[in-house]
Chains A and B, each alone.
Chain A
Amino acid sequence: MSSVHSDPLHPIAPPGRRRPADRYTSQKLAIALGFAAVVITALIGIRIGTSGATLLDVLETFWSKIAGTVPTDRATLLKHNVIWELRLPRVLLAILGGAALAVAGVLFQGLLRNPLVSPYTLGIAPAAAFGASLAIVLFGATAGSAAISLVIGALLFSFLNTALVLSLASTRNLHATTLILVGIALSQLFGALTACIQYFAEDEVLAAIVRWTWGSVNNSAWYQVFALFVLLALAFPYIRFRSSALNAIAFAGDDSAKSLGVAVSQVRLQTIAIAATLTAVTIAFTGIIGFVGLVAPHIARLVVGANHRFLIAFSAIIGALLLVIADAVGRLVINPGVIPVGIIDALVGAPIFLYLILTRQKAIE
């Protein structure tokens, strides 16, 4: 045992030790660089498309919107409209959706103390799929994924599922493992209900349901971007405020976290409600994008470590990057066709994740 400190109640850091302010320099740098990378990939993403657009076109579009000017020639006006009405909401939805799913993934993994957990573990995705399927059956298969009925259907059943999980968690005081099992049971239930609809559906309806479950940002709209932005802007300060409580729950367990002064049940319920809302709203807009919420937190942990103070923000950055890049790749591969982002995400992400698991096993564990 090393020497005993003379006054443990009033310790003085020994000379030569890193100053506290320097301890997180690399994490802060990673977040700054990551943020810059998101901006750069977003600008590249906006440029990609059949009608073509230069970086100057993109900047011109921004400027004309800020200044409130309208281009006089028709070609420029068309270009500006394509960038502003189609590409920009698409890329922004990919950024915000990726960030929201990644943040939800970090929160669920930490709160449930399980690295295999994703935003969909508590049954939100199958519930949303059932809601969307029901909307397609009731209101027609021709509606795109931006159709309000579809969004409302997905949102309604996601929230119903979340309310059920949260009420069980609070009234029965469920532990993390039991919550995961409840999620599995609800996933099976909603999966079976969706299968029932698919079994009896016409071909056209069936195709629309399957298309929705692929996950895509093809039918993005500004209201979706606005809604997700507001949600994330509201959620982030709270999550940041709770980061040390999240650390205690994730790394010390429920009993020790309580002994460290954390109101575990309260924090868990509030944070699950936030994570579930982020997930529900995102997949109501995009359909089921399955990989980001599981993988982004793991990639982020490899770079900035496991401390939630930095992990949450960096996971959001990784989630945003994954979706923006996947969407750009999806638009380039069979140009002018588009492969849904959910498919590209899993196709590209799975081998990367496999590589990380096998090469950085210890760090992930």
Chain B
Amino acid sequence: MTLKISSLEVGYGKRQVVKGANLTVEKGELIGLLGSNGSGKSTLIKTIAGINSQTKGTITWNGDIDLSRLARKDLAKIVAYVPQSIGLSFGLDIREAVLLGRTPYFGTRPRDEDWAHVDAAMERMGLDELGDRAVTELSGGQGQRVLIARALAQDPEILLLDEPTSALDIRYQWQTLEVARDVTRKNNVAAVIAIHDLNQAARFTDRVVFLQDGVVIAEGRPAEVYSPELIKRVYGVDVELSTHKGFVQVHPLSEQGHAQLGLHPIASEPARAHRLAGQREYATA
């Protein structure tokens, strides 16, 4: 089963943001969308999720399902979207926040089946002991897990993550990315994640796609596609590349470039992240 995006064009008013993007994602594959701010990553993800409308092109699933023509509820049963942050106005408890993922499936009253999906998604994300806690009391990492649990409760075949790590500190970034990769494999979904950090993308995604001014300019396995020339072209930063435990790493040649790419020191983090991912952290509030 394949998510296929062909010649996609999306704009806001007269401004075109995505200009003829092509992309394929297989089930069980996590694709990293890379590019500088304003390159069209979020717009592309939101268009696949049905939040934005495309002006041209097609988005198909499994060859014959045109996602842009599906009714909103039917689309929500195939595609789940995880935003940057939980951003809640009122203190809904975690179980009900995850239940929102079942919105496309029930009318006014959730059925036993809906609760079973909620319980399974919460258990899957390690939230089952925090069910009655208000989401406003959660840490950033826990909040992100609630959002992913909500997406899992949707029972999707396509999972879209829109810069889910951008509001998190390094510990929760790693944890969230591990979860995203794990869910992609075990739930066998086609997943796309917009991400800023090139080293994290290399570590966690199967393939990366570079967007520049709304156009896909390169795609492939990180080790194959990363090059100093490409990174200079996309981000305007001079870098060197190395390999650590089989993963390509990017090293900016200047401190300014380091800040510009927002990279985290990758060499020391994986072990720590693995340790942290095995723990359940609780809110300090």
A is bound by B: yes
| Chain A residues close to B by CB (< 8 Å) | 1-5, 8-9, 11-14, 17, 20, 23, 113-115, 240-241, 243-245, 247-248, 250-253, 255-263, 301, 305-307, 309, 362-365
Beta-carbon nearest neighbor of A8 in chain B: B187
CB distance from A348 to the nearest CB of B (A): 25
Residue of B nearest to A20 (CB): B115
Contacts of B271 in A (CB 8 A): none
Asked if B128 is an interface residue, CB under 8 A from chain A, the answer is yes
A1 CA / B179 CA spacing, docked (Å): 8
Using an 8 Å CB-CB cutoff, how does the interface string of B148-181 with A read, 1 for contact, 0 for none?
Answer: 0010101100000000000000000000001100
Q: Is the CB of B80 within 8 A of A247?
A: no
Listed by A's residue number, 26 A-B pairs whose Cβ atoms lie within 8 Å are: A1-B125, A1-B182, A1-B277, A1-B280, A2-B280, A3-B123, A5-B120, A8-B121, A8-B187, A9-B155, A11-B117, A12-B116, A13-B112, A13-B116, A23-B95, A247-B92, A250-B89, A251-B89, A251-B100, A252-B100, A256-B83, A257-B103, A260-B100, A262-B72, A306-B92, A365-B90
A305 x B80 contact (CB < 8 A): no
Give bound CA distance, A307 to B100, whole Å.
10
Q: Give A4 to B125 CA distance when docked, in angstroms.
A: 8
Please report the total number of B residues contacting A with Cβ < 8 Å.
62
Surface stretch bound by A, among B44-52, B220-228, B236-244, B258-266: B44-52
A1-B136 contact in complex given A11-B119, A17-B119, A255-B46, C-beta closer than 8 Å: no
CA distance A363 to B79 in the complex (A): 33
Inter-chain contact A263/B124, CB cutoff 8 Å = no
> Taking the complex as formed, is B96 at the interface, i.e. its CB lies under 8 A from any CB of chain A?
yes
Q: Per-residue 0/1 for B81-121: is the Cβ within 8 Å of any A Cβ (1 yes, 0 no)?
A: 10100011111110111001101101111111011110111
A248, B103: Cβ atoms closer than 8 Å: yes
Q: Taking CB as reference atom, which chain B residue is nearest A298?
A: B90
| Cα-based distance from A262 to B114 in the complex (angstroms) | 17
Contact of A260 (CB < 8 Å), options: B90, B112, B136, B154: B154
Q: Indicate if B69 sits at the interface (CB-CB under 8 A).
A: no
B186 beta carbon closer than 8 Å to chain A: yes
Instruction: Give the residues in chain A near B250, CB-CB below 8 Å.
Output: none
Which residues of the other chain, A, contact B182 by a CB distance below 8 angstroms? Answer: 1, 4
CB closest chain-B residue, reference A11:
B120
